[in-house]
Chains A and B, each alone.
Chain A
Amino acid sequence: MIALEIFREALSSLWQNKGRTFLSVLGIVIGIASVIVMMGIGQGAQDSITSEVGGLGTSTINLINMSREKPLTLKDLDAILANDYAGVFSAYCAQTQGSYTLAAGSESVESVSVTGVTAGYLTVEGKTVELGNFFDDDDFATGNRVIAVGQAVAKDIYGSASAAIGQRLNVGTIPFTIVAVFASESSSGMSFSDPDSFAVVPLSAMQNSLTGSSSLGSISFLLTDAAQATTAKSIIGYTMLARHNLTDVADADFTIFAATDLLEVLTAVTGTMTMLLSGIAGISLVVGGIGIMNVMLMSVMERTREIGLRKALGARQITLIAQFLFEAVLITCLGGIIGLLIGLGGCTAYSFIMTQMSNDARAVVSWSSVILSIGISTAIGLIFGIYPARKAAKLPPIEALRTE
């Protein structure tokens, strides 16, 4: 009841000084708006990275060949699978990759990534075939020269996906038959190449007809449970160390890579960036807060006589503190709300401009940053308002009344 009336007194005195109130609100508006925009951009970057890396498959682990002397082979794969007593691997795919010119008739495409793969490819890499049938067991076992191509390859050489099916395609100088065309993939912000410009052949065909070597580029494993990444990495790591007669992990001539590792690093990096940006924006909030303190102190000085009168009429210290605190908090809350709205507008504008520039980056405003900004602006009002409020309450009434 009394609090409501003190609140009304605070409101009316702010209204009396509209110009001053507006200027002090402005400081907080700028602070909160910049914090919202910075946090939005940071959060947006984080979301986009998470989804990109998530696209790599957070439940895949790659064993990558790093050695010429002891190259990765299918025997290594057998050994790893033999050690998987716990059944952490649900699928796997050995791969070896090369870059070839693809040609048919007068049409050709240079430097296309051609990968020789084993049967688990579609499952492990999460690819879908749009037209035709992917390689069968016979193709994988005997090294039939069959090839599955991405949308870009089919269109560049044959004009369309359907026109490519059943056609001959030379990989370098070796002729293959197109049996399947993959579904188109959306462009990811992280790679600059066309994700549909690639081709896949059975590993046996790759080794027999193109590389002439039994060495593998990498083996990808799909986990039954993403939480078992650590177990999976140990199984792979210890099997390989043993096979290469190594005891020290530091000597390893192979690399084990999990997408989750990358995600952790990138999340940490963007988190730090967000903190940095918000920190810089936060400085403007502190400056705004000091502005509020100045304005309130000025207000106390100007209203010395009024404060003295209120005391003479029986206002207790706590009542005066409450009134001046209410005034400060009202200014900062109002600034917080306006700043929030401007910040939301800024985020929308940022996302719009990025869309126009065909960039994936977006500014995302989360509920937590909304609540945080209102909370922070209230806190600023309380923190920077308490000193002027106490100063007002402690004014001796006679000194206050004497002021002309």
Chain B
Amino acid sequence: MANNIDKPEEKPPKISDKIVIEVKDLVKTYHSGAGDTLVLKGLNFQIHEGEFVSIMGPSGSGKSTTMHILGALDTATSGDYILDGVNTKDLSEDELAGVRSRKIGFIFQAFNLLAHKTVLENVMLPGMYGHLPMTLRHQKATELIKLVKLENRAHHRASQLSGGQQQRVAIARSLMMDPAIILADEPTGNLPTDQTDEVLRFLTSLNRDQGKTIIIITHEPAVASYSDRTIVLRDGVITSDGPANRNVHYDCA
């Protein structure tokens, strides 16, 4: 049924020489009562500015942990993660908050909007933590809401929107501080198929038109097929890293 969805592949990505993400020998161990669990066993990869990358793997492969470290939400046990030229190992808790504020835009599977706030307020929220002046914040949020085509919903509460609409709000929010990288963790996991395509097309256009580096975490080949490059993880190691298979469609995923 969705077989005939055309992916916006005609436009090639504009990938620059600049490396925005560099991961060297990244190791993550979780400590628990039952002993230590080695989740990431030494990852190495680089992502250039303007790339659209998917990180795939089954559950337990370490893809979520990778995402958290890339998003500066968590730190590696050993190895280096250099984000935009800065080794995050050396950063304090507050400096990491600054990195999250300015360099990274997050999109989550569960949308994570503040349900009682309006669409506009949700989109503006990162601006508060990023110390944008109120007028600029308002103006920018209005533009972003227009970009995700929700201008007639700006003053609705987030809880009144459909899943796809909520995820579009989340996309607008992730762009508020104009970050270099957008990290999307299973962004379509909670969406029906028709809204999935809409959200993924949106991310693609951000990559193609605005040159945003996009990293998408997914276990669905169909979702990964929108990207240009796929890194596959299994049991904490990279098993393949290469061009994405763009010929996967929903009903055959």
Which A residues are within 8 Å of any B CB, using their own CB? 2, 5, 9, 12, 16, 305-306, 309-319, 396-398, 401, 404
Contact = CB atoms under 8 A, between A and B. Distances in A.
Contacts of A318: 94
Contact of A313 (B74, B93, B101, B110): B101
Contacts of A401: 73, 108, 112
A316 B97 contact: yes
Nearest to A396: B74
B74 A310 contact: no
Nearest to B93: A317
Nearest to B129: A314
24 contacts: A2-B131, A5-B128, A9-B128, A12-B116, A305-B112, A309-B108, A311-B97, A312-B100, A312-B112, A313-B101, A313-B106, A314-B98, A314-B102, A314-B129, A314-B130, A314-B177, A316-B93, A316-B97, A317-B94, A317-B97, A318-B94, A319-B129, A398-B68, A398-B74
B114 A397 contact: no
A120 B232 CA distance: 111
B62 interface: no
Contacts of A313: 100-101, 106, 125-126, 129, 173
Given A314-B100, A317-B94, 13 more contacts: A5-B128, A309-B108, A309-B114, A311-B97, A312-B73, A313-B129, A314-B130, A314-B177, A315-B97, A316-B97, A316-B98, A317-B97, A396-B73
Q: Is the interface of A mostly helix, strand, loop or mixed?
A: helix
Nearest to A6: B128
Contacts of B73: 311-312, 396-398, 401
Interface in B117-138: 117, 125-126, 128-131
Contacts of B177: 314
Contacts of A397: 73-74
Contacts of B173: 313
B13 interface: no
B74 A316 contact: no
Nearest to A318: B94
Interface residues on B, range: 20 to 34
Given A396-B74, A398-B73, A316 B68 contact: no
A229 B2 CA distance: 105
Given A316-B94, A398-B73, A401-B73, A16 B126 contact: no
A316 B112 CA distance: 18
Contact of A306 (B68, B71, B114): B114
Interface string B82-109: 0000000000011001101110001010
Given A317-B97, A401-B112, A312 B71 contact: yes
Contacts of A404: 110
A312 B114 CA distance: 13
A76 to B, nearest CB: 83
Contact of A16 (B97, B110, B116): B116
Contacts of B68: 398
Interface in B170-208: 173, 177
B126 to A, nearest CB: 5
Top 5 closest pairs, chain A to chain B, by CB: A314-B101, A314-B129, A316-B97, A397-B73, A313-B126
Contacts of A311: 73, 97, 100
A311 B96 CA distance: 10
A284 B131 CA distance: 41
A2 B129 CA distance: 9
A3 to B, nearest CB: 11
A314 B129 CA distance: 6
A313 B175 CA distance: 11
Interface in B40-93: 68, 71, 73-74, 93
B129 A316 contact: yes
A5 B132 CA distance: 12
B129 A310 contact: yes
Contacts of A398: 68, 73-74
A317 B126 CA distance: 15
A201 B128 CA distance: 88
Nearest to B106: A312
Contacts of B94: 316-318
A306 B114 CA distance: 7
Contacts of A309: 108, 112, 114
A238 to B, nearest CB: 75
